[in-house]
Each structure stands twice: as structure tokens, then as C-alpha cells.
A = this chain, B = another copy of it.
Amino acid sequence: MENFIYSNPVKILFGKGMISKIGKEASSLGKKALLVYGRESIKRNGVYDSIAESLSKFSIEFHEHPGVKPNPVISHVREGIKKARERNCDFIIAAGGGSVIDEAKAIAAGAKYQGDPWDFFCGKAKIESALPLITVLTLPATGSEMNSGFVVTNEQTLQKYSAGSVHSFPRTSILDPQTTFSLPEVQTSYGASDAAAHLLEGYLTTNDKDSEITDNYVFAVFKTIISSSRRILSDKNDYNARASMMWSATLALNGQQALGYKGISFPNHAIEHSLSAIYDMPHGLGLAIVIPAYMRHNIEKISGRLEKLGENVFHVSKSAKDAISAYESWLRKDLNLKTRLSENGISKDDIPKIAENAFGLAAMWGMGISKKEIEEILNRAF
């Protein structure tokens, strides 16, 4: 078990009706907010009104920055920074899924930086401060509500890159599982695939194979993602399943999922980000395509980890191959995701281009994976 430093300052308000507390939470942060959101869903499901009502009780004014895309883009981040500056916003509120929260984190940091916000992503600048951020999560998946990282796409260069800083933790995150009742089925699937992927990246890439408490934590959260998504897909109004799913997705990437692991990396994310950047593919779907291929490609190197995963999560006896099959079968049969590139309309001829893009990110993240290896994985994913 490797040494670690862990600290997570995010205050979580979880449950029914918790959005009504946002005014009080915000009242210590200032008088003017920038409300960042996506499209109309937060207006349809009542989240927008709950936020507005609670803020008005504390005389907090807010300006709006709608239109965040599922893979948020840097041009829209720049617009948000401009608004936050022009309107002298004291803090940011993000209402939506991981994309909205990620863009809000970028705006919060960018508003305090004189250069271009892409500098944070390409390694040209470090985040030294940020406006405070409150999030209202409506889609369990990315864990962004309780961590300090964020991902944005540069639509000019087709790079989907990440940034992060201790200043980028939300102050408070509000998770009301009721807000997820109206999600389309496919979003539950993408979210479950995404959250599971966060567990798998650390679990499969650690060089330290003896962090038993963290392995067991990973299995516990993974099993809950499987059982909760199954319940949700059979009854979309199952509150307790929605609640367990929502909290599981947070626990899958709030730092605890890799404590004691050593030298971990995110190879599947590096590859998936290129699919999102080039094809605007949903992140959870992209991961469902890449990870089974990554597992098959690395089966010998990680057979022990796969066997343990299979036994503890999928109840298949000691076989790495069966573990991969069980995982892919969960993605295909339970979540109804198409786990091959070919099934998602991507041409085999594109593979070198995708690999080229992914290699750029992998190199920036300092991962020892070659372009050739990425191509091999993508060929397996075809």
C-alpha cells in the first residue's frame, strides 16, 4: 500500500428537497452568481425554479450562462469568463451533469486568470485561484461534484484535455436523486459506464497489488453501480436505487477509489477523449468501447487484477477472460450499450487518426503508451 495524502473539503447536501438550501449555502459567498447550465432540462424538472427561489430569499442576484454542451468546449468557457467578469460575479453555480460542472470549474478558474483558459489544459499555466463554486448535480456519472478535476474540449484543435487544482473543489455540492427521475434511459447507462470506468482505471493500472481496503472499496461501489442501474432501468421512479446510484458515482471518483494505489494512470480516458473530441461521442459510451478492448489487449499483464474483479464483482470464478466477458456483457445486456467502434458508425480507416489524437493526450499525461499500442487497442475495439 502506497503512501497518500487525502483531503476533500466538499460539503455534500444529499437528498430530497436539498436544493432549497442553496441560498443559505451561497449567502456566505457573495451577492452575485453566474448560473451555468446546459439546455432546458433544468427548467423542465424544476431545478432552475428551486435554485432561483432559494437564492432570492437571500437576495442573491444571478446571471445566466446556459448552453453548455455534453462535451463542453473552450469557446463557451471563454464566453462564461467574460460574463462572470462583466457582471462582477462573486461565485459560480453549476446546475447539471459533469459537463456543466466541468465547464463551471474552468470558468471559475479562468475568471481569476489574465491569460487564455486553455493555458490550464495544455500545461502552460497553473491554477492559482478560482471563484467559489456550488454545484447542483442532476446526472450521476463523472464525480466532478466531489473532486478537483475537469475536462474541456478545444474544438479548434480537437483536443479533449483536463485540468485541476486544489482551488477547483466545489465548496458545496447538492445531490437530489429526484432530479434524475426524468433522465432518458441512455443517460443512466452512460453514467453507470462512466462511474465504473473511474473505478477500473485505478484498480487496473496500479503497480501496488496489496491495498486490500481500496480494492474492497472499489468492489463495493462497482457492485452498487451494477445493482442500482439495473433497478433504475426496470423502474425509473425507484428513489432508493436513484440515490444509491448517485452517491456511488460520487464515491467512484472522489479520490478514495485509488488511495494506496501506486503509479496509476488513465489510459482508457486518454483514448476515449479522442473519440469525444473527434466524434462528440458521449463519454460513458466511449469508455464502454475502449475498456473491454484495453482489458483484452492487456489480459496477460493484468490477469490477477481481472480475476479478482471477476470474483468479487461479477461472481465468476478465477478467470481473467470470463471477467472481461462478464464486464462487457453487463455493458451490452444490462446497459444496452454498443461496445464496438463498428457498431457506432466509426470507420476502420479512422483508427490511425484517433490514435494520433489520443497519443497527444497520453504523452501530455506522461503515460508510457505508444501510438502503436493505442492503435492495437482501437483495432480490438473495432
- Please report A residues at the B interface, Cβ cutoff 8 Å: 1-18, 177, 210-214, 216-217, 219-221, 223-224, 227-228, 239-241, 243-244, 247-248, 251, 259-260
How far, in angstroms, from A247 to B8 measured CA to CA in the complex?
A: 16
Verify B6–A11 contact, CB threshold 8 A: yes
Offer 28 A-B interface pairs, CB within 8 angstroms, sorted by A. Answer: A1-B247, A3-B18, A4-B12, A4-B15, A5-B11, A5-B12, A5-B13, A5-B14, A6-B11, A7-B12, A14-B260, A211-B240, A211-B244, A212-B228, A212-B240, A213-B221, A213-B224, A213-B228, A213-B243, A213-B244, A213-B248, A216-B221, A216-B223, A217-B217, A217-B251, A220-B220, A244-B260, A247-B260
Closest 10 CB pairs of A and B: A3-B15, A220-B220, A1-B243, A216-B220, A7-B11, A210-B240, A212-B244, A213-B244, A6-B12, A213-B224
Provided the pairs A15-B2, A15-B4 are in contact, do residues A247 and B223 lie with their beta carbons within 8 angstroms? no
Contact of A6 among B14, B211, B217, B227 (CB under 8 A): B14
A241 to chain B, nearest CB (A): 8
Contact of A213 among B15, B216, B219, B251 (CB under 8 A): B251
- Residues of B contacting A260 with CB < 8 Å? 14, 243-244, 247
A123 to chain B, nearest CB (A): 27
